[in-house]
Amino acid sequence: MAVLFFLFIFGTQSVLASDKVVVVIDPGHGGYSEDASAYGAVYKDELCEKDVNLETAFALRDELQRYNNVEVYLTREDDRRLSLEERVDFALSVGADVLVSCHYNASETHLFYGSEIFTSAFGYCYSYGNGLAQCIMEQWIDDGQASKGIKTRIGSTGEDYYGIIRHGCEVSLPVIIIEHGYLDNHVDYERLGTVGDWDRMGRLDATGIANYYGLSKEQVYDEVFPVVDVPIPDYVVEPDTSPPGYVYLRIIDQNIETSEVVYELSAKESNGKLMYYGLCLGEPEETAPEDYGDLMLWEEGKSVITGTYSVPTGYRGKITARVYNNYELYSDSAPQELDFATLLEERAQLLEEAAKEAAAKAEERRQSLLKRDEEAKLEAERKKEREEVGDFFFFVGGDKKGDQVDPVKARRSLYLEIVALVVLIAVLVCIIIIKHRKEIMKTIRNIEGNDWDRY
Distance CA 336, CA 316 (A): 11
Name the minimum Å distance from CB 38 to Zn ion: 10
Name the minimum Å distance from CB 88 to Zn ion: 16
Q: Is 234 exposed, middle or buried (0-12, 13-18, 19+ CB in 10 A)?
A: exposed
**Cβ closest to Zn ion, residue 40 vs residue 407:** 40
Name the minimum Å distance from CB 182 to Zn ion: 11
Distance CA 380, CA 147 (A): 87
Chain contacts with Zn ion (rule: CB under 5 A): 28, 40, 103
Name the minimum Å distance from CB 76 to Zn ion: 13
Name the minimum Å distance from CB 244 to Zn ion: 27
Name the minimum Å distance from CB 118 to Zn ion: 11
Name the minimum Å distance from CB 213 to Zn ion: 25
**Cβ closest to Zn ion, residue 40 vs residue 239:** 40
**Cβ closest to Zn ion, residue 28 vs residue 149:** 28
**Cβ closest to Zn ion, residue 198 vs residue 309:** 198
Residue (of 252, 263, 249) closest to 307 by Cα position: 263
Residue nearest to Zn ion (CB): 103
Q: Using the 8-state DSSP alphabet, how is residue 75 labeled? A: S
The CA distances from residue 223 to 6, 68, 288, in Å, are 10, 11, 55
Name the minimum Å distance from CB 107 to Zn ion: 12
| Contact call for residues 197 and 206 (beta carbons, < 8 A) | no
Q: Using the 8-state DSSP alphabet, how is residue 154 labeled? A: B
Residue (of 307, 322, 299) closest to 260 by Cα position: 307
Q: How many CB atoms lie within 10 A of CB 206?
A: 27
Q: Please report how the helices 163-170 and 84-93 are oriented relative to each other, as an axis angle in degrees rounded to 10.
A: 40
Name the minimum Å distance from CB 223 to Zn ion: 34
Distance CA 166, CA 127 (A): 15
**Cβ closest to Zn ion, residue 40 vs residue 272:** 40
**Cβ closest to Zn ion, residue 183 vs residue 279:** 183
Half-sphere exposure of 318 (CA within 13 A, CB side): 13
**Cβ closest to Zn ion, residue 53 vs residue 147:** 53
| H or E segment and range at residue 275 | strand 274-281
What is the SS3 assignment for 379?
helix
Largest Cα separation within the chain, whole Å, is: 187
**Cβ closest to Zn ion, residue 40 vs residue 398:** 40
Q: How many CB atoms lie within 10 A of CB 11?
A: 10
**Cβ closest to Zn ion, residue 40 vs residue 402:** 40
| H or E segment and range at residue 7 | strand 6-10
